[in-house]
Every structure is written in structure tokens, then in C-alpha cells.
Chains A and B, each alone.
Chain A
Amino acid sequence: MPIPTPFHPRTSEFCTSLQWKEWAGYYAIRSFDVHFDREYYAFRHAAGMIDVTPLYKYDVRGPDATAYLNRIVVRNIAKLKQNQVAYLCWCDDDGKVIDDGTVTRFEEDYYRVTSTDPDFHWFLRHMRGFDVTVENITDEVAALSVQGPNSRDVLRDVCDADMDKLKFFRTTKTRVDGGIDARISRTGYTGDLGYEIWVKNDDALGLWDALMAAGEPHGLVPAGLDAMDVTRIEAGFILNGIDYFNALHSLIERRKASPYELSLGWAVHLKRDPFIGQEALRHIKKDGPPRLFVGLDIDWPSFERLFAKHGLPPEVHSGGWRTGVPIYDSGGNFIGQATSGAWSPLLKKNLALATVQAEHGHIGNTVHLEVTVEYERKTVPATIVPKPFFDPERMKA
């Protein structure tokens, strides 16, 4: 049975829809209202606040912390400056991705790792020979994510750190509402301007109340996972367990993916000290990845026509979907799968994230996605378009 996060007394109070789900062993809210659209628009037009405590968090400390993490992750984090965050992934010996997440360098010898899957065992396993400690602080540190164009204004009003100086993928220590010690990083999972705030569990409710109070004039709204899922699809972000699978959990090779197949090739730094998977990744890079992770814009008129044939209006999911569907080339041959998608209320587009065979993965190519209309399986054309689908300047500005 899931357990409540430290914000539960507040989140449960606001959650009139009673739409809960389990996230990494915690109760998490799908949407506070019956429908998530108000929360979605808050993310895109004002600010939304979501409880992200369940995200796994590991603290790595010690003289060998840099060397140790560099041994595990694909990216050269020795280049990280203090208070800088890196998005990256880690692989098995065969160069297949186990998980993606962030590494934040708080101090010279102090890092925090976040992960989607419970990977503590993986980090523990590689400590031999390194003077480090690794601590699973997932249950000790509570986290809120404040995302959206007004998020900076909210935080500016309640934090003593200079929010205008905090750049994209940087962190700072701050005091919230005069009394709560927190760390803020300018990161998020919405592809928008946004921040994540970490405090000790005991300070969770104080943080919530302070942010809600400060947020009122800026349109801050508590938000749930359904709204965030649509924003992450618009941002083209992969999700472990949906768009790809942890290599350690995969029974067959086909299920595993290298970073080059997940659009994460840019994060792999091959020319450096040995790291797990390096040798295999060299070969994969040389040979070219067999599959590519792409964005699809599903052709709306064709989609509409399929339904019109039955006298029906087009049926789109309300929110993100994550049931994998096959993709075919024009000859009807299977070439890959769409693994998640959503109707983008902002872009007015029917979007999907997909993995397709490399030779079909070029921008502008038309592929055919399966849709089921009145129990019949049909296909609808979709164009491969650049990701992210939505990329506001304010995210990095």
C-alpha cells in the first residue's frame, strides 16, 4: 500500500476529485479537479505546483564522489561547476540505459542524484574502491516543483536567494519565508520556466503554505500528474518504464535501448576515464543506433475522417496516453511503436513520442500509426517532427 508524502495533509485537503494513483510507493494525485485542464493551463500560463517527493534521491559525498559518479553515469560530471545540475543517464555494461535522471553538484565533494526507478542498489554496487558514502534520502527530503511562466515571480516573493540570478540547470540554497532552509534548482519536467524545491520533511507543510500564500497573486495552482504528463510530452521528455525500459528489468534485448536510441547521445562523453558501458557505447555510436526516438504529429484531418466514416466525432484521450501502439511504413511493415502521446491543448495538435527503425526516423518522414475506431484497427498518417514540440524561450531565459 502506498504511503502519504509529507505534503499529504495539504494535498488531500485540496484533492476534491479523489483521483489518486501510486507513484514510487507514495500516494500521488492525478488531478485535483475532476479534469486536469485548469492545472495544465496553470503550468503554461501562470504557475502550477506539484508534489514530486516520490522522485528517488540519493546523496553522494566523499573525496571520490566525482570519480565515483563518473564511473556510473555516461556524462562527464567532472565538468560540473558547484551548484550546477546535469541531466544524464546510466547504463549497464552493454551500454543499455538503466535510468535517466539528474546529478546536482552542491559542493566540491557532495552530489545529489535523482532517478525514476529505485536504483539505490546500482549505486551501492559500484562503491568498491571509492572513498564515498551514498545515502538514500528519498524518504527524508520532501520536494515541490513550481513550474510555469510565473514561477519565478512566486519564488522571488518568498525566497531570500536572488531568483533573477539563478540560471537554467543551476541550484542555490535559500531561506523560504524567512525560516525554512531549502535548496532550489531551476529544473523541471514540464519544459517550461520552473523550479524544484527541496526541504527536510519537517518543513514540508511550512513550505507548502508559504508558496501557496506567495503564489496567490501570481495564479499559482496545485497541480497533479495528469497535467504534468501532457506538458512533458509537449516537451518531448522520455519516461522510464513507458518510452523505454530499464535494462536491468528487461528480459529480452529488444526491450533495451542505448542512449543513442533515446535522443540522449548528446549526454554520452566517450573520451574520458572508463565508465560502465563505455566500450559498448563506442561500438553502438560507430555502427549507428538501430532505432531512433522521435516526435510524431498525427495528421488531424485523416484522423477525423476515420471517425466520420462511422458518424462519430474524433475521439482523443483526455490527457496523456501510454498504451504502446504499432507504427507501420507505407507498405504496412512494422517499423516501431508510439509509446506515449497527448492532445496538446496549447498547440492544438495530436502528438506522440515514438521509437522507430533508424532508416525511417528522419524529420519530415511520414509513418502510419495504428488507431482503433469502432473496434476496427486502422492507421493514420503521422509526420516525424522535431522535438521538443513546445520550446518556450522563457524556460532557459
Chain B
Amino acid sequence: MAYDVIVIGAGHNGLACATILAKEARRVLIVEQRDVIGGLCAGEEFHPGYRHTGLLHDTSGLRPWLVEELGLSGHGLKPGPAPHRVFSPQTDGPGLVLSSVPDESVAEIARHSDRDARQFQVFGTFLGRLRKVIEPLLNKTPVNPSDLGVGDFFDLAPHGIAARRLGKRDMMELLRIPPMCVADWLREWFETELLNASIAGPAISGGWTGPWSPGTSTNFLMQTSTWNGPGQGGVAAVVSALENAATGSGVEIRTGAAVKRIDIEQGAVRGITLLDGDEIEARSVVSSCDPRTTFLDLISPRELSHKLEQYVRDYRMRGTTAKVHLALNRPLEWASRPGEQFEYIRTGEELDDLERAFDAVKYRQRSERPVLEVHVPTVARPDLAPQGHSVASVLVHFAPHHFEEGWSDSAREALGDAVVDERERYAPGARDLVVGREVLTPVDIEKRYGLAGGHIYHGEHGLDQLITRPVPGCTGYATPLDGLYLCGSGCHPGGGVTGAPGALAAHVIQSSRQ
């Protein structure tokens, strides 16, 4: 039986894309290799009685227009952001809590520097002005820089006008900042290293970059310009709302169905073949897998132009982030703030801590002292662990996919130990709370999620890879192969739980059919 569209992968982008397409009463099938839905967002039990809510922590980038377009509130997603606080602990000092409530942040920063507290307010309004120009660009189909037409001009004109409204000074800044490294830029603003490290964290998270890598400011601007605050219920709520919306629109979802091959004849898609040999016909195939998996694993080299293959090979997706899930028999406590509970914690007391941690991956080593992004989901969802127990979900920077000594079992455990040791510096005694743990190296992430290189964003957020994402010839979700589209985080506007690549791809597919 033939489908109009097959979407490969039930990650959040695949779900969003399929749902929009199904609304036009197309026959849409999602095939997902895993037994669970959600892709990198799938929450799972990692130790008997303890669950995490997906590999990632933060859903602040989810687009409000997508929530509306898919009617996700009607499918159980509670409206409105939850208050968001990120705690940067110190080994010796009070630490710093940055909050989504600006006054709270200002008061916290004032504990370290009055000047920075004042600057932070100016910084906030400055970013607000830039957001007006940046955000719309991250919510529309990208223009192909090599093929600008008259239509594109009219399309882009409003952005030009928005940019002009910024005024000369801000406009200059908008041109100056993106290629900069986030460290230099932040030091122009703030003198408190703890604050700089805390702000810089997300800019380098997941990338093959340290705070002194060029272009890291771009990553920061992208994130702040699309930051909408974490939704109520976290990642799990997003995934279940997306799943409900999909099935509600008639999308068929098949789990445990790994695609072996996208079938192509004379340059046009015919359907897919599953690992178990099942052949399914479809007029279009939309892949939410990363570009390398899509083009190099799922498509016969005989169907791929040499140029495209070369571009895909050169596409950088070297994973640098590991994931450690810890089952704890008590809530976590931090030396900087005894008695307080935090849901989000980020280590690194100065920019150099981040840079030093990054240095290692350049030489295919893991950081001796990794930088940790800790999420304690049990603060908001105590039901994820037994009564009185807690879960710490830790993003670990940096651990290279191409680890020189290879990711053996003992190397994996050594990484787990390094994480526990690092946390111990800020939360003495936390070591003894651990009753179970799961360590996922980038290679484990690659294997489990079918994600080449284990790169969390399906490819580096480098300036070049953002402008022609993923590669020239495939920047607008369509590919040179007739009927094959991309809709995952490897597409514009990049990785993160945003739903934007999935939804924008669906819009392109819709308009190409009209």
C-alpha cells in the first residue's frame, strides 16, 4: 500500500513535519527505528525505578507559532513558560543564579559586581533589540544564497528594513558580533568571570568549540533570539503533545522499523526498504535523520552526485558531548547554597575552565575536568524516581566521538567517574548518593539514535554550516533527488528542540505540491 509521504524518524522534527502534512489529508507514515517515540527527546528508564526525560534538558527554543499551528495546547501542552533558573556553583563562594526573572538575576550578579549588575540590564535590552532582526530569520525557509531571485528580494526586504530600524550602532554590532568568539565579546560587557562562564556555556554546548573559538557568538545570539522559556512539563510534555497531535491528524507511526534504504530510481524517490526487508512505496520521503546518515547510509552511492557526496563528507558533525544519567538516593545539595534545590546547574567558574575542557577534544582526548550541565528533573517531577530519591541528568563537555584510545567499557566508566569527581567539587558527598548510572559516549549516542558522529545538533553550528545548512544544494529542505526532503536538525535553522526544521520543511513540501 502506497503512502503520499513517509517521514523517517519520530524525533520531534519528524513528528511536527508529519503532522502538518497529514492535515492536508495525505497518507503519512512515520517509521522509527527505536521502540520509543521522541528521538533525542525520548524519556526512558535508565535504572530500575529511575527515569530521565530525554537526552536534552531544555525546550526553551520550541517555537510558539508551531505550538499554535499544531494546536499543541489542545494535546496537553500547558501554555506559558515555567520560571527558569540556572545555577552556577563555586567551590568557594556563593555561586550565581541566572533567572528568567530579570530582577532576580540583577540581584544575584550584584553579589559579585555592581557594575556587572548594571551592565546586565543594558545587555538584556540590547539583546532584545537584536532579537527583532534575528528571530524572524530563524523562523522562515532559508534563501539560497547562490540563487537569489526577485521573489527572494521581496522576501528579504522586511528583514533589511528591520535591520535598518536598529540604528547605526546596533547594526554595526550585528555585523561585528556573529563571527566573534563569545569570550571576547562577553568580556567587553562583564568583569565577573563566573557570569561570563555561565552565559557562555550554552554558546559552546554540543559544539566542537571553546569560548575562544570564532563564531561562537552566533550560537549564543541564535539561542537567545529564540528563547521562549521552558514549557510546563519539560521535554516529556512536548513529546507527548506532538505524538497526540500526530496520531490525531491521522499520521501512522511505526516503531521498531529501521530504514535500510531509501529507494531511488532514475533520480526520483520510490519509497523505502526497511531493515526487515519490507518495501514501502511513497511519492515523497522526508528524512529527519542527520544529513550524513541520510545521504551516506540510506542512499546508494550510485544515486548520489559526486559533488553532493563530497559536501556531505565535509559536513562537520564530530560529537563532543557525552551524557551521564545518575540515580541518587537523596536530593542533590550544593556547597555554595546549602539547603536549596536547583533544577538546572552549570559548572565552570571562568571562561578558561570551558576552554581548557575543550582543548582536550582537539587532540582526541576527553576533558580531564569536564564542564557539566546538570538537570535535576525530579525537582519538577518527583515521580521520575522513588519517593525522596532524585535523578541527575548530566551533559558532559567534552568527550570526543573519535576518542584516541577508543570508547571501551573501561573508558566509558572512567568518563562516568570523572563526571562524579567533578560534581563532587561543588557538591561534596554527592558521590555517596549514587545508586545507579548510565554513561552514554558520543559513540553510544550515535548507535542508539542513529546519529552519525553523535553530534547533538545533527551537525556543527558553524557560521558556514548555518548559512548553507546542511550543504549547498540542499539548503531549502528539498534535495537534488526528486521527492526526497530533509526535515531534521541538520537543516535550517539548526538543532535544538525548536520544531522549526520539521515545520518549515512541511511548508516547503506543501507548496511544492501545489
Interface residues of A (CB under 8 A from B): 67, 71, 92-93, 125-126, 128-130, 273-274, 276, 279
Contact = CB atoms under 8 A, between A and B. Distances in A.
A92 B301 contact: no
B302 A93 contact: no
B267 A130 contact: no
Given A274-B267, A279-B267, A125 B306 contact: yes
Interface in B266-309: 266-267, 296, 300-303, 305-307, 309
Given A274-B267, A279-B267, A126 B301 contact: yes
Interface SS of chain B: helix, strand, loop or mixed? helix
Contacts of B309: 128
Given A274-B267, A279-B267, A130 B301 contact: yes
Contacts of A125: 306
A236 B301 CA distance: 36
A260 B301 CA distance: 26
Nearest to A67: B302
B302 A273 contact: yes
Contact of B303 (A67, A93, A126, A274): A274
B301 A129 contact: yes
Interface string B184-202: 0000000000000000000
Contacts of B305: 93, 276, 279
7 contacts: A71-B302, A93-B306, A126-B306, A128-B309, A129-B301, A274-B267, A276-B306
A129 B306 contact: no
Contacts of B302: 67, 71, 129, 273-274
Contacts of B303: 274
* B interface residue count range (under 10 / 10 to 19 / 20 to 34 / 35 or more): 10 to 19
A128 B309 CA distance: 11
Contacts of A92: 306-307
Contact of B301 (A128, A273, A279): A128
Q: Which of A71, A274, A276 has the most CB of B within 10 A?
A: A274
Contacts of B296: 128
Contacts of A130: 301
Given A71-B301, A274-B302, 11 more contacts: A92-B307, A93-B306, A126-B301, A126-B306, A129-B300, A129-B301, A130-B301, A274-B267, A274-B303, A276-B306, A279-B267
Give the 10 A-B residue pairs with the shortest CB-CB distance, closest first: A129-B301, A93-B307, A128-B301, A93-B305, A93-B306, A276-B306, A71-B302, A274-B303, A274-B302, A129-B300
A323 B305 CA distance: 35
A129 B301 CA distance: 6
Nearest to B300: A129
Contacts of B267: 274, 279
Contacts of A273: 302
A54 to B, nearest CB: 27
A168 to B, nearest CB: 32
A129 to B, nearest CB: 4
Interface string B246-269: 000000000000000000001100
A128 B302 CA distance: 9
Nearest to B266: A274
Interface string B306-343: 11010000000000000000000000000000000000
A67 B302 CA distance: 9
Contacts of B300: 129
Contacts of A67: 302
A276 B306 CA distance: 7
Contacts of B301: 71, 126, 128-130
Q: Which of B266, B302, B305 has the most CB of A within 10 A?
A: B302
A129 B306 CA distance: 13
Contacts of A274: 266-267, 302-303
A270 to B, nearest CB: 12
A94 to B, nearest CB: 8
Nearest to A276: B306
A279 B306 CA distance: 12
A92 B300 CA distance: 18
Nearest to A125: B306
Interface in B116-156: none
A127 to B, nearest CB: 9
A111 to B, nearest CB: 17
A76 to B, nearest CB: 14
A316 B306 CA distance: 45
B78 to A, nearest CB: 48
A92 B310 CA distance: 12
A273 B309 CA distance: 18
Interface in B431-461: none
A66 to B, nearest CB: 12
Contacts of A279: 267, 305
A34 B137 CA distance: 72
Nearest to B303: A274
A92 B296 CA distance: 19
B429 to A, nearest CB: 53
B308 to A, nearest CB: 8
A128 B301 CA distance: 7
Nearest to B264: A274
Q: Which of B267, B300, B305 has the most CB of A within 10 A?
A: B305
Interface string B385-409: 0000000000000000000000000
A23 B267 CA distance: 41
Nearest to A127: B301
B309 to A, nearest CB: 8
Contacts of A71: 301-302
Nearest to A129: B301
A71 B300 CA distance: 12
A4 B302 CA distance: 39
B474 to A, nearest CB: 14
Contacts of A128: 296, 301, 309
B304 to A, nearest CB: 9
B5 to A, nearest CB: 24
A225 B302 CA distance: 39
A200 B402 CA distance: 43
Nearest to B309: A128
Q: Which of B301, B306, B307 has the most CB of A within 10 A?
A: B306
A20 to B, nearest CB: 38
Contacts of B307: 92-93
Nearest to A70: B302
A297 B242 CA distance: 75
A279 B307 CA distance: 13
B280 to A, nearest CB: 22
